[in-house]
Amino acid sequence: MQDKDRAQLGAELLKSLVQTAPTSNESLSVRAFGQADAQNVRFFLYQDVLEELAFASAYRDEPCFAVLLGHFAMDELGAFIEVTGFDGLEYRDEVGEMYRPLRATLEQTMRELSRGETGSGRHIVGLFVGLPGCEAALDAEIARVHLSLFNMPYQMAVVVDPKARKLGVYARAPRAKFFDAPFFVVRANAAPKSEAVAKPSKAEVLSESAPAQVHENVTS
């Protein structure tokens, strides 16, 4: 990321810093995965985004990747990050081939963000990788690419293993190692029965009995 891009992102952050984190109410359900520490940044992932990414990762046998879009913000409880969309989904034969096309996608996305073409006030909040057989672990190549291209503190790495139907979320504080990040899944509640239209889930990525960090069937 170039200096002018960082300056642009800093300006965007200042404009949208104070917001309200998603909470369970009549229109939303918020479900926690892992034990969040009150001192840490909170991570909110929208279920419809997870379903689209899980579907994409299972659609072909090759690894895939995308840039995660959303918001950095703060409320009375502290800092939080929302994942509300993604950009530039691509497939490659090997995960080691994603660096160059991902860098090009990041540069293009930064230009679009600066022109307001990818949604009002949205930022680049992390990296998504779908990698069959990885058990949703933070592969060394994924970590290397993330360290090279994602320079903002707490920009996350979301890793899906479509074969094992597992998902892991990782982040990194300034000058620190990656950690397994607890997170929240935000789902829009169904409309009343008279208004609801049945819509099957595209994918299941996590279960209630899953371990605290690498999760199964998140979207169920």
- How far apart are the two ends of the chain, measured CA to CA in Å? 36
Residue, of 81 and 114, whose pLDDT is higher: 81
Q: List pLDDT tens digits, range 129-165.
A: 999 999 999 999 999 999 999 988 999 999 999 999 9
CATH level 2 (architecture), domain 3-8+18-216? 3-Layer(aba) Sandwich (3.40)
pLDDT of residue 175: 85
pLDDT band at residue 25 using 50, 70 and 90 as cut-offs: confident
| Residue (of 97, 23, 84) closest to 52 by Cα position | 84
Domains of the chain by residue range:
3-8+18-216
pLDDT of residue 8: 52
pLDDT band at residue 209 using 50, 70 and 90 as cut-offs: very low
Look-up of token digits 């996350």: 156
Structure tokens at 179: 């950690």
Three-state SS string over 109-127 comes to HHHHHHCCCCCCCCEEEEE
pLDDT of residue 165: 93
Q: List pLDDT tens digits, range 187-201.
A: 988 765 555 444 444
